[in-house]
């Protein structure tokens, strides 16, 4: 890739790359935000709702256990006469195995224990319970509504041997009168019962006694008690419900685990949505970047075409005007020069001063004719003889004289091969081209020491710059061209002035006459070449002259086919 095209390509593709990266980043942020702020929270809300429903189901299953025990107690209280007659106590192990009743207690009307059977299925034998110790036992206070108001009561009781499901029923009188006492049935709710309850409801559940709570669960228990909250609440991956005992006092938490299925589905949906929307967005983004790139290229091409068209119209107008002026100017100069020469050779003696004036007038007409010739050169109509020349050798010979006229603070650096590329041109005109370019470069350096670089090389046609190339309608027809390049480190050229640089009498310098670069373009046009200008504000300018290479016999090499 040619070095002079690299910055432009980097600028063009760098801008498109940055647009693409910026678009991808924005799309990624939007998709992540949608996933984190919309999709996942929606599925998490569904997960929370399901977790609370699962907790309700487990609580309902636990309530069914109590209801079943209560129904059993009601049946026994109405039919069983053991408590009323004071008959023998039922056998504890058989009662637990056959009737699923681990605790059988009969209390008389005063609250004293008449019969008591306690069997723990995990221990395989009777166990003492502090709540049933004493006469009357401590539990009697919690069962006062059963004894005094003849009301049934069901509930839970935390004991030293585990959770106990209790159902209390008043014992009906034998005739008319108050109840004879109350019947208390109980069932230990063991870890196995919790597992069975989890299997029935398909929800992983735990009963957490208040005494075993720690950390955040302990704080949650205190908060639920303080708020008298009876509905389940979500905390992390679990749902919690406050449980009260048979005396309506909070004593435990029913904890159920969230299934995680909906959250996992939400993650999958978010990922799928991100991939889908990302693919669509990326496709649209690439299409947009390509469209914008093509639109910029079209606008750039249109602007270049308009600039070339303006330049062509201007060159044609200037050419017609300059040709007419040069033609009429030469006619008048020829007449003036002829009359001056006749006056200088008329018969008779002439004063010395008169001869000097006529001589000066003749020299002035010569300078005017030279100016007219420069205008013809600008038009490419010069009739100067052309021959095969070594471009580098002509430049080396000319620079020897030019270097002596440069300011002392300007350094002249050359890079010219020996032998150099051969071109078919006029040596005097080539020297004029080099002189004008070097003088133009020297005058462009106004602040501080200057550095002028003169380079001669061969350039492939594919590497020729397309921007700011004059004539604007020139196109390469040969595979390679000889290049004469003059660079400076001056202040650069205003982009608005580049189109006018090669116009006759255009100059932005105080000392300029406005014909130097116009002559350069004329010589180059006459040789079938072009001039390219590159400039950067504060960095300097580069003028590159491209001329067709001459063949071994001096003919211009044809284009490759």
Residue 392 sits in a domain whose CATH number is: 3.30.565.10
pLDDT of residue 79: 65
Q: Do 436 and 528 fall within a single domain?
A: yes
Q: Do 438 and 512 fall within a single domain?
A: yes
- Say if residues 458 and 549 touch (Cβ distance below 8 Å): yes
Q: Do 395 and 530 fall within a single domain?
A: yes
Q: Do 180 and 316 fall within a single domain?
A: no
Q: Do 417 and 513 fall within a single domain?
A: yes
Helix ranges, 35-132 (H):
40-79, 82-85, 92-99
Q: Do 477 and 330 fall within a single domain?
A: no
Q: Do 393 and 494 fall within a single domain?
A: yes
pLDDT of residue 463: 92
Query: Can you tell me the distance from the alpha carbon of 154 to that of 163, in angstroms, rounded to the nearest whole number?
Result: 14
pLDDT digits (tens, 9 = 90+) for 105-123: 888 888 888 888 899 988 8
Q: Do 539 and 459 fall within a single domain?
A: yes
pLDDT of residue 559: 39
C-alpha dihedral sign at 291, 293, 294, 300: positive
Q: Do 448 and 493 fall within a single domain?
A: yes
Query: Is there a domain that residue 117 lies in?
Result: yes
Q: Do 401 and 365 fall within a single domain?
A: no
CATH code of the domain in which 115 resides:
3.30.450.20
Residues in the chain with pLDDT values less than 70: 1-15, 78-89, 174-177, 229, 311-312, 314-315, 318-320, 322-324, 326-329, 346-355, 366-383, 507-514, 552-561
Q: Do 491 and 527 fall within a single domain?
A: yes
- Among the three residues 340, 374, 408, which one is the final residue of a domain in this structure? 374
pLDDT of residue 318: 64
Query: Can you tell me the distance from the alpha carbon of 361 to that of 341, in angstroms, rounded to the nearest whole number?
Result: 10
Query: Is there a domain that residue 542 lies in?
Result: yes
pLDDT of residue 548: 94
pLDDT digits (tens, 9 = 90+) for 23-54: 778 777 887 888 788 878 888 888 888 888 99
Domain count, the chain: 3
pLDDT of residue 512: 45
Q: Do 116 and 182 fall within a single domain?
A: yes
Length of the chain: 561
- Say if residues 132 and 50 touch (Cβ distance below 8 Å): no
Instruction: Residue 445: give the domain boundaries.
Output: 384-548
C-alpha dihedral sign at 521, 527, 528, 534: negative
């Amino acid at each position: 890739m040619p070095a002079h095209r690299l910055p432009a390509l980097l600028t063009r593709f760098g801008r498109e790359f940055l647009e693409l990266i910026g678009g991808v980043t924005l799309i990624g942020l939007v998709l992540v935000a949608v996933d984190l702020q919309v999709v996942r929270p929606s599925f998490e809300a569904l997960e929370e709702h399901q977790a609370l429903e699962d907790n309700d189901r487990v609580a309902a299953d636990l309530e069914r256990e109590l209801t079943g025990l209560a129904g059993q107690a009601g049946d026994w209280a109405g039919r069983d006469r053991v408590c009323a007659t004071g008959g023998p106590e039922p056998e504890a192990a058989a009662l637990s195995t056959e009737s699923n009743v681990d605790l059988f207690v009969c209390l008389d009307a005063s609250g004293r224990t008449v019969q008591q059977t306690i069997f723990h299925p995990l221990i395989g034998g009777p166990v003492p319970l502090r709540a049933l110790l004493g006469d009357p036992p401590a539990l009697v206070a919690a069962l006062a509504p059963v004894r005094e108001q003849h009301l049934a009561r069901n509930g839970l009781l935390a004991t030293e041997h585990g959770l106990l499901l209790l159902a209390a029923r008043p014992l009906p009188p034998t005739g008319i009168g108050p109840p004879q006492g109350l019947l208390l049935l109980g069932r230990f709710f063991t870890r196995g019962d919790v597992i069975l309850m989890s299997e029935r409801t398909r929800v992983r559940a735990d009963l957490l006694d208040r005494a075993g709570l720690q950390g955040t669960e302990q704080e949650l228990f205190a908060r639920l008690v303080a708020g008298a909250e009876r509905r389940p609440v979500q905390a992390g991956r679990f749902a919690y419900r406050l449980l009260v005992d048979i005396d309506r006092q909070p004593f435990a938490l029913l904890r159920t685990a969230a299934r995680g299925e909906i959250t996992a589905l939400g993650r999958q949906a978010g990922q799928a949505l991100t991939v889908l929307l990302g693919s669509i967005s990326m496709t649209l983004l690439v299409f947009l970047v390509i469209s914008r790139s093509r639109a910029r290229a079209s606008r750039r091409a249109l602007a270049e075409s308009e600039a070339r068209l303006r330049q062509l119209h201007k060159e044609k107008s200037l050419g017609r005007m300059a040709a007419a002026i040069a033609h009429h100017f030469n006619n008048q100069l020829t007449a003036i020069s002829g009359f001056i020469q006749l006056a200088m050779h008329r018969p008779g003696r002439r004063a010395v001063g008169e001869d000097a004036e006529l001589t000066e007038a003749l020299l002035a007409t010569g300078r005017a004719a030279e100016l007219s010739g420069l205008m013809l050169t600008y038009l490419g109509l010069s009739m100067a003889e052309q021959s095969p020349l070594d471009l580098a050798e002509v430049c080396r010979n000319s620079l020897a004289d030019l270097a002596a006229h440069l300011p002392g603070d300007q350094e002249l650096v050359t890079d010219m091969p020996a032998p150099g590329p051969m071109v078919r041109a006029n040596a005097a005109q080539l020297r004029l081209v080099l002189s004008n370019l070097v003088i133009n470069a020297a005058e462009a350096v106004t602040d501080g020491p200057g550095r002028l670089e003169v380079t001669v090389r061969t350039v492939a046609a594919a590497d020729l710059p397309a921007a700011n190339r004059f004539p604007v309608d020139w196109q390469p027809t040969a595979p390679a061209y000889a290049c004469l390049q003059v660079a400076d480190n001056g202040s650069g050229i205003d982009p608005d002035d580049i189109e006018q640089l090669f116009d006759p009498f255009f100059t932005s310098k105080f000392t300029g006459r406005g014909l130097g670069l116009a002559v350069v373009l004329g010589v180059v046009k006459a040789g079938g070449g072009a001039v390219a200008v590159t400039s950067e504000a504060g960095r300097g300018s580069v003028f590159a002259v491209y001329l067709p290479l001459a063949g071994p016999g001096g003919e211009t090499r044809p284009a490759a086919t």
